[in-house]
Structure 1
Amino acid sequence: MRADRLVSLVLLLRRRGRLTADTLARELEVSTRTVLRDIEALSAAGVPVYAERGRHGGFALLPGFQTALTGLNHDEALALVVAGSRRGAQQFGLGSALASAMLKLVDALPDGLRDTAAGAAQRLLIDPETDLLARRVAADEVSAPIGAEVRRAVFAGHRLRIRYAAVDQAPKWRTVDPIGLVTMREQGYLLATRGGADRTYRLSRILAAEALDEPARRPGTVDLDRAWQERHTRFRNGGDEQITVLVRVDPARREPLVDTALDVRAEESDADGRLRLTLVFQDRRHAEWAVWQHATHAEVLAPQELRTAIRDRAAVIANRYGTSS
């Protein structure tokens, strides 16, 4: 295990340059003291690791250092084969590239390692297309040309012109400064800024894309995880169209209903055992759709306009089925 960790330490320094002992400890999931001992071991073995002191100091490799640290152990090979079974690359238009890469990877493995990794991968299923209730997972699909153009702008740091179809709006052209790409629950998103304001675009709603020659107006580095969390928080806490709904629901339907909401503000039990939930939805249409899925197992208590909308929808359905076909 220590040999694998030493290899990982060198690869981290090669790929990311100077890193502090604390950063290396977090990446390798060991203590800072263990990292310092590993640095000493590498130096003793002739690996040119040096320390830079000061506020921006850390450990680094001498410039130009190269070594053939390309061996994979069984678990690493298995992780790569399993990764190739995931559908996340589809959201970025990389499905065919991933399939081709996995063929090359498997072919390059030694015979014994190839057989054991492929056999073990057959025993693992990651994110199947249907759940136990036979509900199909609806993954976003992004055309290869659009995905390639978006990636080109993101990686090259160029501005991007997209024709975007927002919900309930006619498609419009807009020029954005791309920051990064995120995949979440089978859906892909482009994080960008437009006019200096944060924007998030669903990749499947981009109808056309063109990477421009103009440099993007964005910082040189970005913490995508932090950026996503900040946008997620703003989305849940803001927005003029969000609606708070009081619902009575059968306890057996609590989880499916809560899963469709943005937030749960309050929860209590009624005398008859039903739950009284205060939920936040994206807008009234979102709330109406979510509650409608549960038929008589859920009842909106407030606001009145949502009760009226669901009543009117039910009346239309009842009228249609009240006459013979």
Structure 2
Amino acid sequence: MSKSLLQQLREMTVVVADTGDIEAIEKAKPQDATTNPSLITTAAQMPQYQSIVDGVLLDAHKQLGDSATDKDVANLAFKHLAIEFGKKILAVIPGRVSTEVDARLSYDTEGTIKMAHDIIGLYEGAGISRKRILIKIASTWEGIRAAEQLEKEGIHCNLTLLFGLHQAIACAEAGVTLISPFVGRILDWYKKDTGKDYKGADDPGVQSVTKIYNYFKKFGYKTVVMGASFRNTGEITELAGCDLLTISPQLLGELDSTQGDLPRKLDPEKAKSLEIEKLTIDKATFDKMHEADRMAHDKLKEGIEGFSKALESLEQLLAKRLAELESRESKLVSAD
């Protein structure tokens, strides 16, 4: 019996689930899992996870006391919610989970380091080793500097919202564990900018990840590449052989139900023989390349704003849920 595309992909690439839905992760059986504010917000609204949300809210309320406002409680709760989902996810996967720092700290090196310490502290307080956690940080210059410091402390980082080669090289030179170049969002930008559609190896998102992968393997960087944000299975099959790929449950299902031959597209040995110019990225070069790359400039800004908005939506959702819990509790007290 022939193997599915997913079975073949697993033989050359570490498959990661891109979701906050624990049931979907159990079904997909990935090595690792990634979450982000949008995914956690979606999962928090699913009925099957309401008990997790309520538990986090009640703990935050207890921690802050009765004098705290619903907004204060919601703000504390959202920080703990991603960790609660992370803990549940780690119970069903053998590998690591990525948990994201507040996107509103993307240009704040010290703030990012502090929140990363808080996240690791909460996991370690629950008996989970930092080896199983990747701290997700936006690939701004300030975020990369925070990751460089955290890596020196044995805290592993996943640099996200990565769209340009300058971001990737800066991450590798900082000794970051893993980067997540966003394939689908790059495709979105080019389709909108040019009015053209792209398929297979012509997809600019696929080309970007291929270029980054070959650069890292050519020059022997330890930083690994995890393609992310896919729009279709064609993008995934074009990146077969990439170190890791983080894939939504829907696309994992499509790959699992599709038969056919899956050739390896990215190969570390082939990359070593390529003619590639070595670059050094200091802040001035980073800023210059970032300004020159309209796509990377636009998508990084848009991504940070989008994740920040998702966090604000989550805080509002939590404040509303807390008010409902308090109303229910007060009715129970009155009934007694």
Q: Name the TM-score, length of structure 1 as normaliser.
A: 0.22
Larger Rg: 1
TM-score by length of 2: 0.22
**If each structure's strand is expressed as a fraction of its own residues, which one has the higher value?**
1
Name which structure has the greater RCO, CA cutoff 8 Å, separation 6+.
2
Quick check: which one's helix share is greater?
2
